[in-house]
Structure 1
Amino acid sequence: MNTENLTAGLAQAVMSSVPETSAEAMKEARKGLLDFTAAAFAGRRDTGVEKLVKLAEEEGGVPIAPLIGRNQKTTPSQSALINGFIAHALDFDDVHSDVRGHPSAVILPALIAAASAGRIDKSRFLGAYVTGIEVMARLGESAGRHHYEKGWHNTGTLGAIAAACAVGFAENLNQNQLQTAIGFAAARSGGMRVQFGTEMKPLHAGLAAQAGVFAVKLAKAGFG
């Protein structure tokens, strides 16, 4: 199987999609965004969030990206990580049966981080969200139930690639850039079900969101 052709095909499908033309898709995206916000707001004071915020403060950086439900900002990379954790902290966030995981907790924190850095046209935000969900669901269908049953947490493994596709779509990457970003995101994907029941489970969502954002930055920088 030629994996390069598979990656090129995925990148082409993403960049040629026009989700904004579907009124139904945009309606569902708004509902998804509202649901995500509510779940994240409920988890904003989780003890794990406090630990991550403290680490971000120690790390420093230019605070331009918001943390959901908190009156403070961090760097976009830190924001993607922490908002992903916040959204999945209570496990009240959306679940997709094809994904066997939680797509919005990964995709939306990645898009919020990129948007806060001024790299996204707001008119493409919801379309990018829809695109990310579609990619993650298609990857879930492709991986099938065995990926999850073997111990992988699809939110982390598939989420990193979906986040890169969503951000790449939003930032209007070209075919080659997105293809490269998908490869970078795949290299950083991960998440094990054996860690369920600990703070690592929601951190998988944050790490995947962060990986997607960073993958696109690497691709745009011409990293090979």
Structure 2
Amino acid sequence: MSRQGLTAGLAEAVRTSQPEHSIDAMREAKKGLLDFTAASFAGRKDKGIQKLLRLIEDEGGTPLVPIIGQGKKAAPLQSGMLNGFIAHALDFDDVHSDVRGHPSAVIVPALMASAARGHDERLLGAYIVGVEVMARLGESIGSRHYEKGWHNTGTLGAIAAACAAGYAEELTQEELEKAIGFAATQSAGMRAQFGTEMKPLHAGLAAQAGVLA
């Protein structure tokens, strides 16, 4: 199958999914959001956050989205980066074995930005879609991607965040295909940077990429 065919297939699967019909999935999604909240609250005082706050204050923008634990709001793209960083700052956030990474730290910040723009009715279902996409991408690429030095949270997360936000915002097939492509071209993150502030920033940049896409 061509790359275009794979993108179209993923977009169609996202667009036509009905996660809200699964009681089990909705229950587990609520646990995921609770875990995200707890990890973010614990990481809210990380020193790296102040650097990012100074950055967005210098940049300006319309403050729409709450920044977790900071008593401040930021523009949607800025919030994705900041909230993703906060959630992954302590590395206590959820880990998915198929993803080989941290789905919620990327997906939830993107959905927070989407909700602030008025797309909040399908937030829980969109979260499920994002985790499912990230896990299936992880299954598809297997362990080699991670073993070669890539950080799946960043590389897979951008696409998953775009799919989640696309579902929340009810994008058309064509719009969703483009969003997936825009997210994929921004995918990045190297394991060589583990142990530095770049690791949580991978999650933030992936969330930001999903919002931008």
| TM score, norm. by length of structure 2 | 0.99
Please state if 1:174 is matched with 2:172.
Answer: yes
Compute the displacement of 1:129 (Å): 0.1
In the alignment of these two chains, the number of paired residues is 213
Task: State the partner residue of 1:25.
Answer: 25
Query: Residue 63 of structure 1 corresponds to which residue in structure 2?
Result: 63
Distance (Å, rounded) in 2 between the aligned partners of 1:6 and 1:117: 29
What letter is aligned with 1:76? P
Residue among 140, 145, 150 paired with 1:152:
150
Q: What's the CA shift for 1:51?
A: 0.5
Q: Tell me, which stretches of 5 or more residues in structure 2 are unaligned?
A: none
Partner secondary structure for residue 61 of structure 2: coil
1:69, CA displacement in angstroms? 1.3
Deviations 1:11-39 (A, max 9, x none): 00000100001111111111100110000
Query: Could you say which residue in structure 2 is the equivalent of 1:90?
Result: 90
Identity of aligned residues (%): 70
CA positional deviation for 1:70: 1.6
Amino acid at match of 1:39: A
SS in 1 for 2:78: helix
Runs of 4+ in 1 over 4 A off after TM superposition: none
Residue identity in the other structure for 1:192: M
Residue 192 (structure 1) aligns with: 190
Give the Å deviation of 1:128. 0.1
Secondary structure (helix, strand or coil) at the match of 1:94 reads coil
Tell me the alpha carbon deviations over residues 163-193 of structure 1, each in whole angstroms, 9 at most, x when there is no partner.
0000000000000110011000000000000
Q: How big is the shift at 1:123?
A: 2.7
> Counterparts of 1:38-57 in structure 2 under 5 Å?
38-57=38-57
Shift of 1:114: 1.2
Give 1:127-166 correspondences, 5 Å limit: 127-166=125-164
Report the Cα distance in structure 2 between the residues aligned to 1:72 and 1:157, rounded to whole angstroms.
Answer: 28
Could you say what the CA RMSD is over the residues aligned between the two structures, in angstroms?
0.6
